[in-house]
Structure 1
Amino acid sequence: MLPVWTKLTKLLDVRTPVVLAPMGAVSNGELAIRVSQGGGYGFIGTDLNDPISFSKELDTARSRLGVVGPDAPLPLGVGYLGWLLDKGNRTQQLLNIALEKRVQSVWLSFGSNLGKWVEYVRQYDSQRTIEHKTLIWIVANSLEVASRAINEWKADVLVLQGCEAGGHGHSEALPLISLLGLVKSKFSNGPPLVAAGGIVNGAQIAGLLLMGADGTVMGTRFAATVESSYSPNQKRGLVEATKSIRTLVFDTINGPTQWPDGINARALRNKAIFDVEAGVDFEERKRLYHEAVKNDDTSRIAIWAGSSVGLVNDIPSTLNKNKDLVNQVHQELIDSLRDASGFLG
């Protein structure tokens, strides 16, 4: 299959500009490995990992991806929430493990001290006995954050997350098309720009590449795959859904949210939200929610989903002979780019 060459695919040495989002409780090592094996780029989400299992996941990835020698870069990435890193302890330990294992990329998002962690990674790399540069990906929801990521933090890759993205994002984020256009107009010679938010197929990717993106992040589409860590009920919920909404209900159900100011999340609308609208007492809502979690009852538990969830209509394997999702999306991208050329002449 033909490769698609962009600043991002050349930087990562991959054949398709499809990136797996590092979703907590979704993007496990198996999913990241399969996306990378398919020619895309996999990220592992870390917020629910313990150090021992995480270290084993990275060792497994090194073996499965055919990386020879412990000093060779591991061609995938790991995602970290800035506000969890600020709390130290386990999350910082997970970052140290990833750096020790020479992952190619680290994804940083949602924190008031991201610059501190950029410097932490740079310092770690500078002290290695064998040279290795970790690529730092920064998530930006606004032109202001994008400017800091490029000018101050010298991000290697900038992820532009629009309001369409499933899971957490800024409540005042622009639509992706507007955010991408704005940042592209200001930083045409900057790092690779990766578009995130509501992307589930190759046609959408083609449109974003034509607008100036160098790659795209897919979350919801990969959440509804055999390999994702979502439960079978959550995956069916994605397939049956037609839309999602932005809300703080699921974050506040356990008390005050620890996410930075302005952050909320996009999820499927369900009884947990209906309970708030009906004025159900908080303690009762909390009881009902935890009972639902125990029973994997998706009528109340959180199912994070982007704005294009209505276009997700199956639960394929990420990489197999019968229905290879990465190659399917890549072929849709190729076909769409060919179709676009037909408008000329």
Structure 2
Amino acid sequence: MVAEYLLISVRRFSFLEGGIWGIMKKIGFIGAGKVGSALALLLQRNGYEIVGVASRTPASAEKLANRLQSPVLTRGEVCRRSEALFITTTDDAIHQVVSELAAEGSFRQGQIVLHTSGALTAEVLAPAAAQGAITVSLHPLQSFATVEQALAILPGSYFSIEGDQRGFSFAQEVVEKLKGKYFYLDSAAKVLYHAAACVASNYLVGLLACALDLFAAAGIPEEMRLPAILPLVTGTVDNIRKIGIPSALTGPLARGDLGTIAKHLRALQELPEQETVYTRLGLYTLKVALAKGSITEDQGRELRALLEKGVGEKFHREEEK
């Protein structure tokens, strides 16, 4: 009886007071996509009890539940059984899910509620906070194409943590279990953080699509375009990893090669979309070249004038159409 009382007291302390978060093991998931599925499987492997899974799509919930050997439940049931609840739905569904759970009175004092969105802050979980829950956003700074890929690369990744500081200890524990690293974000900075992630990941895809279009215009066979460019990309990333930015910058901008840049701009006149990417990105990259110290301030001014002239000429050509 005494032992049972002590166990209840310790669990209550960990759950309500924010003290011994390591005791918190009962975790539920609403959303069974790539991130949610991988997190659930990895946390189970690290000793957490997954009390249940809910998903808008029954098939995805069943698939994850079978792998976990955990039950498929309603969202309300998952919430009520969880000490920590992960909402890993699409971004635009998070507020609706939380609002509906709050309307049912599913949240409780001291419960931790987390989402994994990169764009949204913990404020989207406000209906849960109003019922006493501790709300946190925990975002893996990583890109996943499949659940299996996420299982392989999520461990060791970086995570951002934002929200109610009372929940940070648990979020940190989760990251540490995954052998990852974490940093904190102010809520007001979350949108810039996500913009940076989009530039580094999503826009990299767009940038390579632009390069492949230029390969096509140059007459390179389609089946060779991507295989030919990938070693260049991976080599550049390796250089950045080894020596950082700006040291890894090479090419005509880094050399101050006005003649080559001018030839590029002339060739791009009939490809306005790609020309815009080239000139705008060139102007930004010029700052990197100056920071590297591989060109002088005078060279920088000449290159800027050349690139800005390219932008101006493009504007005038569009006006004439």
TM-score range, shorter chain: 0.3 to 0.5
Structure with max Cα Rg: 2
TM-score of the superposed pair, with normalisation by structure 1: 0.32
Is the helix fraction higher in 1 or 2? Answer: 2
